[in-house]
Structure 1
Amino acid sequence: MTPTQPTPATRPAAPGAGEPLVEFVRTKRGAASGVLGALAVVFLGFAVFFALKAFGTAAAPADKDKAAEKANPDNPLELPKPAGDPANLKRGDFNVGWMSCMLAFLVASLGALWLSARDVRDRTEDQKRTEARLLVLGIGQGLGAVTMLAGLALLYRWSDSFTKWLETSDTDELRWVLIPLMTIITGVGLVFVAIQPARAEERSNATVRRIVYGSNFFLTFLLLVVAFVGFNVVVAAKVSNKLDTTATGFYEISESTKQLLAGLKEPVNAYLITAEEGTRQSTEDMRQLLMTAQDASRGNLRVKFLDAVANRSELRTLVGKYPQLSLTLEKVDVGAALLLTAGEDEKRSAVVPDTEFTTTVDRRPVFQGEPRLFRELVALSNTDGKPVVYFTQSNGELSIDPAAEAPDDRKATRLRAYLEKNYMEVRPLAFPLENPTVPADAAAVVVAGPRSPLAPAAAEALKKYVTDKGKKGRLLVLAGAAPGPNNQGMAKTGLEDLLTTLNVRLGDKFVYSIPQDRRQDFRQTIAGITNVAVAAKNEVAVTMMKVSPAVMLELPREVAAAGPNSDYQPLPLLVTDGITWLEDDRVDEAQIEQVVEQLNNRAVQIRKNVMEGGRPVAALVSQGAAPAGRGAPPTGGTPVAAVYGNAQFVSDAVGRRMSPDAAPLTYKLVGVTLDWLRDRPSVFGSDMEGKKYAEYQFPQASTVDTTRALYFPLALTFLTVVGLGTAVWFVRRK
């Protein structure tokens, strides 16, 4: 029988094998102590330097802007991030520096003192090597821990740069992300390197084994935490973190709003202020809308929610800066308000009470949060203030004076109110007889249905306003079909020469239409958006197509291209739908049936130009556009003018047919046209609508099947018990 060989004892690692630092500490303790002492002095020097910077920054005389950068004496680490240059680091960042250097000084000093004071003359070579490994492990872990803490503190303080870099890809912010991360990685590297010499004794020394395993666990945990936090920040910035589970997409926002938010040139601050305990449902919906908008804004919209009680101090500051906010919150029926600010020192502002978050349509509440937010953002993004639109009032045009004594079909006061509600300033323009001019602040001029021709001097002033490249004037002509003297022919507008210059020809005949249903008479013509305008992706055409592809015009007139003018190119916007014909004079209502019967005659059809669809009644004129090809629209160019062969469609008579909370499609058409002329995003965006509130009705108890509600939990519980029992049985059998 062969005797069992004894297990050989584990030999210690060969002296100096892969451990030059350990051997240096073991054999030259005095020199090692000197190195640690010198390192401690260096750390102390940096600590003194950073401390002087920190307290010197707080004590130095500062102006109003620097005073805001002083440290909070209760918590010196809670300070804004650095301005972007190391020389301008604020006190809190220097506090992190001197505190970290002091901790590192203590670690190095303790190591130097331990080496100097410990007597190892009676120690064996292996014991000295073990102590050297423990010293390297302790010093490395101490310095690594201090370095990692400093990196984590800086990463927390400069977290805004991390999110801003993710949202905007601003490379200037990237360094404020890399510095803390590299600091943390350096600390992890110090701990990892310090562990390696001690691994030689992890099997034979229980104390060393615990320290090594504990350090590995700590490093793994730290790396997982940093990775988890970083992953969540990246996902939060790059991936939408809100899921709208409503059937109607109540909390989603339109593409127009997303594009506007992403393209804001200046950041906008949104404060949702609740002034009472019981907030309306619309206020909670506005809160959700603002959070969704903030996620889509790429950092351009900053949202803050304030409570009138909990945030009294901050609210007092806002009320003092924006008096309109105070007046709004003082109203009895207002329980919350939205304050939007933009520009330098947040000087441009808008206040929306919660009573305007909703409207009533068909006796049901409709949430108007997104359309209202969109309009306010467009207005705030206009650094030039409200655009001023002038309506000429010298030649019997539609009156915009609410006090004017005129019939509804000769007034446009409702259109004026609609435009002013959507952030335009509307003013009258009465041309004097001598030296008429267009005001310098005119964003656009509207000539709406003149009854008498404009004076040659006034027409010349408009021509100079539109064609002078230095003025960049914009003109909107609503040329109504008014009968001439003695009710014969078509009345002149006085703008014929100007429109010819713009390559537009106004028809001089009345357009009548064969009714397509009983609600339509012969004077009413359906006009639809042209395919060529949609193909050109014209903003007016695209926007109106989303609402309605057609509008109703009463007694329109033709608007067509005058010729192959290469400088000004008209784009057909509206054409008639259905059978239409032309009349030289306005037809008396009593004779209209007789005139329609005559249209059966082929000669009459030719003479009166009877045609089915395709008669142009509106055009948009651009300067410098590439001429239209066969079947292709003109491309490019700068908006100059818009001409509609009707003025009645914007009168108060049309507006009165709608409910007080709604506006006719023709008003929206004029608004979108003015925005197109100004080459601005339209506040009359139509791809967003108010969200209707829907009530969920619980079904009757007698119609509810409770089988699943009763048996599914029981079945799940049974499977859980069986599964646990089976697992215990298998474990016990082993």
Structure 2
Amino acid sequence: MATAAVTNSTQGTLSGLSRTAQNLVVALAWGAIMLFVFGYWVRSKTDGSTENVATILKIAFRVAGGLSALLAAWQAYTLWFKKESPDQKAASLIQQHLFVSYALLGGGLGLIVIGFLLGFGRNTTGSFVFIRENFAESFGSLLLGVISLCSGYLLQQPQASSGITVEFLVGKIPVLKLSQLVICALSVGTIIYLYYNNRDANAWRTYIPEMAVLLLLSLLAFACFLYLNTPNLDEFGIRLFVLLFGGIAGSLLFLWCLWRSVIWREDILLGGAAAWEGPNSYRFWLCAYVLFVSLVLMFFSFNLARADIRTNVVLRRVMYGYDTIVQGLLLVGILFILNVVIYALVPFTYDWTKTRGAYDVSEAGKNLIGKLKQETTIVVLMPQSAPVYKDLRVLLDNFRALNPRVHVNYISPDFDDQKYEELVNNFPKILPETNVASERRGVLIVYGVMPTKPEHNIPHSFVNERKLQDFEGGGGRGSRGKVIFKGESEILKELKFLAQGKKQQKVYILQGNDEVDMNGMGPEERIDVRGDYSKVGIGILVDQLKKDNYDVAGLNFGRELPDQKAPNVVFVQAEGAERRKNVPLDCQVLIVAGVTRDLPKEAMDAVDAYASRGGKMLVFLDLAAEADYKLRQTNLEAMVKRFGIDITDEVPLRLGGPGDERTLWATTTGKSDNPLSRGFTGQPIFMRRSARAIQPAAAPGRFKGEVVLHQELRRDRLTILPKDADVLGDVKKYVRSLVEDERKLQAVWRPKSFPLAVAVSEGDKPRMVVFGDTDFISNRDLEDSQTRSTNYAFVVSSLEWMAEREGIGAQPKVSSSFMLSPEVNVARMILMPGWMMLMATIALGTCIWVVRRR
């Protein structure tokens, strides 16, 4: 009899136990996700910290998340997969629920302890204070702990078929009345405290939202106290009290969040990650948590008071309406907080367009920003209405995500007069010479700790708003203009200059031996491999290097003739007893480009001596042929061979693919650890008129060569290596002959990738980068919009690699946005879609209303 009774009782509760187990699976899985996210958040915030507490917290959250996931899996296995009789399953679930309840109680206590550890710490005087910067983590841990404690307590209570109701409150009316008096007294006392402590200079006005909400809350609590004194208050009266107090109190908290969000909009709505993780981050998280609590309070009170919805039509309509609104607001709040958490974990702003636009930081920018060694502050001095403000904000948010040492502030010179004057006192450079308002706008970059006094030597620079943008078109009536955003390139250029101590890298370009002309600005190109490069200009490359703070000059070992003075060219004078000419001692990189004949002995000896004593070089080779098209070897190539690079008498051509067969598609190897190779993945360089055949030496010695550019082996793009340069006379005819004669094709086909640029190191020190092509740095190629950016970026990155600096990779792009014609009615463009959507919504709602009433 007793056994049967127990069995029947167990079977009767199996349905309730199963529902509880299902809820537990979802809740524990959600808890595991939240704990893992919380742990990752704490880890990202304390990354690099050496404090024991930070290490313990990282481990604690991971362990707690893992245990929660295991408990969820255990419940799911017992509920859905374990084969047991109903009696056995009920007994197993009861035991599991008891174990889980203890785990939740222990975990809740642990989370509350962690919340206090995160929220309180010692200040400089040794006393405990609340840490505002950790408000989000502290309150979140406390909230999760309270939820865990309540869940564990409820799980230990007997199963109830009707769920949680207000019946338990009927016998506790005195406690409810006392709670209302306490809330009323605390609210009034807090109002008095805020006013008394902030009565000087009307500072109490700062707390008007809190004082207003507390006043209304005190009135609500007092009214509920009077209501609870009503004689013979039954269950329906308690239900009405719960509905009124919970709904109105939650609404007051919700309104406070909206009010404070408007007042703190710079830190909550407009500040982005800079505000959400800065010294005022508590503002955002305070509003977020109070919003969450207000929605939960309204939702919970409405659900407690819904027992009479089937008998009371008005109550049913109100309850369903409020329930829908509250659940919708709760969903929006959860999604909003989740979006912020995801943004904090993956803080980059992505641009999914084909060109990647202004929102994708260049590889060179990532390397530079990510390796900044000092605190860097970027102050944007412009109003939000400025044309480049939005692009700047997105760009600088990505900078902050790359390095926590980067701090960004936004000050409008037109509205924040006090802050602007403080900056002018500390940085007079930003003060414009004229009184034009637009001249005060720009970006201040401070490399180092932000000074508080005018007397400082902190490196800084100011980029005027004019440099951040260009305008094209839009001159004619009805024409459409284009705004070009150059913020990334200008800011990175100045920041790199500051990080280098405002020192320019000295670069010399060899001149006077029929090499490329560093002062030439024309688009001339070398057509015949039997000619030289004396008419080919690289002035665009030189000008751009100077704009990027390189000190560039020519180097000539010949005699300076009075009637042939070349600008910006240094003529080397003989020195010492032996009257030898040497590369200047201030030379940091020597560029030798377009040498097609032996260099004069004086020049060759100087270059050889410079390289032998540890000098760094950029060497641009190319095909050079005699009159009979026989390939010519120069003494420069003989010197390069001593640095671990083999040069062969072959003419690389491309068979297959669109365009000229002489055009080689140089790409990075993807296998090298060299930064030059890693920084240009997917960035091809077009070498238009074939190239010199180079490759690392098969048996490297003192010097190590790494292939950084090659023509990749592809089935649709073969590399052929004929021995004679005369094939360049009529490439099409030669290719046709290969197609017709497979044996001839097999003789010249190279069944593997073909090197086109090699980086040479001595130990771990960069020494030289040798390219098999010279044309890709000519004006002709740098004027081409398709090749300009990548070609120049690879040259600059080579200079940066040899200087062992961080600016390696594809350079910043300039992005453009179109301006509408002045004749376009912008208001109509905004209003028309809005009206159309409104009409469509009304029409759809009308159709649904008609259908439901048929």
Q: Is the TM-score greater than 0.5?
A: yes
- 1:446-525 superposed matches below 5 A: 446-468=591-613, 471=614, 473-484=615-626, 486=627, 488-514=629-655, 516-517=657-658, 519-520=659-660, 522=661, 524-525=662-663
| 1:388 and 2:533 aligned | no
AA aligned opposite 2:718:
G
Match of 1:541 among 666, 673, 677: 677
Unpaired stretches in structure 1, ≥5 consecutive residues: 1-163, 186-202, 625-636, 718-734
- Aligned to 1:269, what secondary structure does the other structure show? strand
Deviation at 1:416, TM superposition (A): 1.1
How many Å separate the matches in 2 of 1:348 and 1:421? Answer: 19
- Aligned to 2:663, what secondary structure does the other structure show? strand
Moved more, 410-419 or 430-439: 430-439
- 1:118-517 superposed matches below 5 A: 169=49, 178-180=121-123, 182-183=127-128, 229=282, 232=285, 240=343, 254=361, 257=365, 260-274=368-382, 279-290=385-396, 293-294=399-400, 297-307=403-413, 310-311=416-417, 314-315=420-421, 318=424, 323=429, 326=432, 336-343=441-448, 345-359=456-470, 364-383=482-501, 385-402=503-520, 410-431=536-557, 432=572, 434-468=579-613, 471=614, 473-484=615-626, 486=627, 488-514=629-655, 516-517=657-658
AA aligned opposite 1:483:
A
Q: 1:367 and 1:459, CA in 2 relative to 1: closer, same or farther beyond 3 A? A: same
Q: Is the 8 A contact 2:709 2:755 kept in 1?
A: yes
Q: Is the 8 A contact 1:367 1:693 kept in 2?
A: no
AA aligned opposite 2:782:
G
- Aligned to 1:545, what secondary structure does the other structure show? coil
Q: 1:657 and 1:333, CA in 2 relative to 1: closer, same or farther beyond 3 A? A: farther
AA aligned opposite 2:611:
V
How many Å separate the matches in 2 of 1:706 and 1:481? Answer: 69
| 1:557 and 2:692 aligned | yes
Deviation at 1:478, TM superposition (A): 0.2
Q: Is the 8 A contact 2:441 2:464 kept in 1?
A: yes
How many Å separate the matches in 2 of 1:699 and 1:231? Answer: 32
How many Å separate the matches in 2 of 1:602 and 1:165? Answer: 64
How many Å separate the matches in 1 of 2:847 and 2:489? Answer: 49
Q: 1:603 and 1:460, CA in 2 relative to 1: closer, same or farther beyond 3 A? A: farther
How many Å separate the matches in 1 of 2:182 and 2:831? Answer: 64
Partner of 1:666: 791
Deviation at 1:308, TM superposition (A): 5.1
Deviation at 1:544, TM superposition (A): 2.4
Partner of 2:776: 649
| 1:614 and 2:753 aligned | yes
How many Å separate the matches in 2 of 1:559 and 1:383? Answer: 37
AA aligned opposite 2:495:
L
- 1:552-591 superposed matches below 5 A: 552-576=687-711, 577-587=717-727, 589=729, 591=730
How many Å separate the matches in 1 of 2:362 and 2:837? Answer: 41
Deviation at 1:289, TM superposition (A): 3.7
How many Å separate the matches in 2 of 1:453 and 1:489? Answer: 15
How many Å separate the matches in 1 of 2:722 and 2:697? Answer: 18
Q: Deviations over 1:93-150 (max 9, x none)?
A: xxxxxxxxxxxxxxxxxxxxxxxxxxxxxxxxxxxxxxxxxxxxxxxxxxxxxxxxxx
Deviation at 1:560, TM superposition (A): 1.4
- Aligned to 2:514, what secondary structure does the other structure show? coil
Q: 1:332 and 1:557, CA in 2 relative to 1: closer, same or farther beyond 3 A? A: farther
Deviation at 1:559, TM superposition (A): 0.5
How many Å separate the matches in 2 of 1:445 and 1:166? Answer: 45
Moved more, 284-293 or 613-622: 284-293
Q: 1:709 and 1:448, CA in 2 relative to 1: closer, same or farther beyond 3 A? A: same
- Aligned to 1:370, what secondary structure does the other structure show? helix
How many Å separate the matches in 2 of 1:596 and 1:169? Answer: 63
AA aligned opposite 1:525:
T
How many Å separate the matches in 2 of 1:638 and 1:701? Answer: 61
How many percent of aligned residue pairs carry the same amino acid? 16
Q: Is the 8 A contact 2:652 2:719 kept in 1?
A: no
- Aligned to 1:534, what secondary structure does the other structure show? coil
Moved more, 334-343 or 383-392: 334-343
Q: Is the 8 A contact 1:368 1:690 kept in 2?
A: yes
More helix by share: 2
- 1:18-37 superposed matches below 5 A: none
Deviation at 1:509, TM superposition (A): 4.0
Moved more, 554-563 or 315-324: 315-324
How many Å separate the matches in 2 of 1:211 and 1:278? Answer: 46
How many Å separate the matches in 1 of 2:784 and 2:352? Answer: 33
| 1:682 and 2:803 aligned | no
Asked which structure has the greater CA Rg, the reply is 1
Q: 1:614 and 1:353, CA in 2 relative to 1: closer, same or farther beyond 3 A? A: same
Q: Is the 8 A contact 1:280 1:335 kept in 2?
A: no
Q: 1:398 and 1:334, CA in 2 relative to 1: closer, same or farther beyond 3 A? A: farther
Deviation at 1:684, TM superposition (A): 5.0
How many Å separate the matches in 1 of 2:616 and 2:586? Answer: 12
Deviation at 1:613, TM superposition (A): 6.0
Deviation at 1:448, TM superposition (A): 0.5
Deviation at 1:292, TM superposition (A): 5.4
AA aligned opposite 1:503:
G
Partner of 1:31: none
- Aligned to 1:178, what secondary structure does the other structure show? strand
Q: Is the 8 A contact 1:569 1:623 kept in 2?
A: yes
AA aligned opposite 1:348:
P
| 1:709 and 2:835 aligned | no
Q: Is the 8 A contact 2:649 2:723 kept in 1?
A: no
Q: 1:303 and 1:436, CA in 2 relative to 1: closer, same or farther beyond 3 A? A: farther
Deviation at 1:563, TM superposition (A): 3.2
Unpaired stretches in structure 2, ≥5 consecutive residues: 1-43, 55-116, 131-173, 195-252, 254-278, 290-336, 450-455, 474-480, 527-534, 558-571, 712-716, 821-825, 850-854
AA aligned opposite 1:349:
H
Q: 1:347 and 1:603, CA in 2 relative to 1: closer, same or farther beyond 3 A? A: same
Number of residue pairs matched by the alignment: 507
Q: Is the 8 A contact 1:392 1:448 kept in 2?
A: yes
Q: 1:177 and 1:265, CA in 2 relative to 1: closer, same or farther beyond 3 A? A: farther
Match of 2:666 among 528, 532, 536: 528
Q: 1:430 and 1:452, CA in 2 relative to 1: closer, same or farther beyond 3 A? A: same
